[in-house]
Amino acid sequence: MPPAACILRALTIDDYDPVRRLWDESEGIGLNESDTRDAIARFLTRNPDLSLVALTPAGEIIGAVLCGHDGRRGYLHHLAVNRSLRCQGLGRKLVQECLRRLRAHGVPKCNIFLYATNEAGRAFWVREGWALREDLVVVQHGTAGC
């Protein structure tokens, strides 16, 4: 299915189950306690109308991406396209729409996080013109027990 035949709309919490299945079936996406229904609902409430799903004309979810910002930088998480529909431009279409929406919020740049071993993901993002930031390292700490 060509991307032009797909419909993009804001991801809602009602989409959680089919989107979660898509993420579960997609290599390179790391899911954890930050991806429960409640956590995603909080993310969507904090970032209304930025995350997207791609639908077939029949309404089947075939792509999804979480998009949000902190007021300074945008962030994309969990970009996924149905395996049988990849390499047709749908991922690009989802990303471009997210960037357009972030720009409308006055956010000048967007970041993504990739697993260092996610070669296919790295190739996609570089092919799409994203710059690898080899000068940065992610440092993380849990909030429990603090």
pLDDT band at 143 (very low <50, low <70, confident <90, very high): confident
24-41 tens-digit pLDDT: 999 889 999 999 999 999
Single pTM value for the model? 0.91
What was the pLDDT predicted at 2?
A: 62
Q: What is the SS3 assignment for 78?
A: strand
Task: Report the alpha-carbon distance of residue 109 to residue 86 in Å, rounded.
Answer: 25
Pick the CATH number of 3-127 from 3.50.50.60, 3.40.630.30, 3.40.50.1220, 1.20.1530.20: 3.40.630.30
What was the pLDDT predicted at 51?
A: 98
Give mean pLDDT, residues 69-89. 90
Give mean pLDDT, residues 53-80. 95
- Roughly what angle, to the nearest 10 degrees, separates helices 37-46 and 16-25? 110
Does residue 74 contact residue 68 with C-beta atoms inside 8 Å? yes
Domain spans in the chain, listed from the N-terminal domain onward: 3-127
8-26 tens-digit pLDDT: 999 999 999 999 999 999 9
